[in-house]
């Protein structure tokens, strides 16, 4: 997870949060 670029990690985290809300 920490190996990928920061912007990629932030984007993945946003998608993960959205999926958790639904």
Tens-place pLDDT, residues 1-22: 556 678 888 999 999 999 988 7
Rounded Cα–Cα distance for residues 12 and 10 (Å): 5
Query: Which residue, among 13, 19, 9, 16, has the nearest Cα to 1 in the 3D structure?
Result: 9
Residues 4 and 22: their CA atoms lie apart, in Å, by 26
For the entire predicted model, the pTM comes to 0.41
User: Which token pair is 17?
Assistant: 């949060």
Q: What is the DSSP string of 1-22?
A: -TTS-HHHHHHHHHHHHHHHH-
| Structure-token pair, residue 14 | 């946003």
């Amino acid at each position: 997870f920490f190996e990928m670029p920061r912007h990629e990690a932030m984007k993945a985290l946003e998608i993960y949060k959205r999926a958790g809300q639904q």
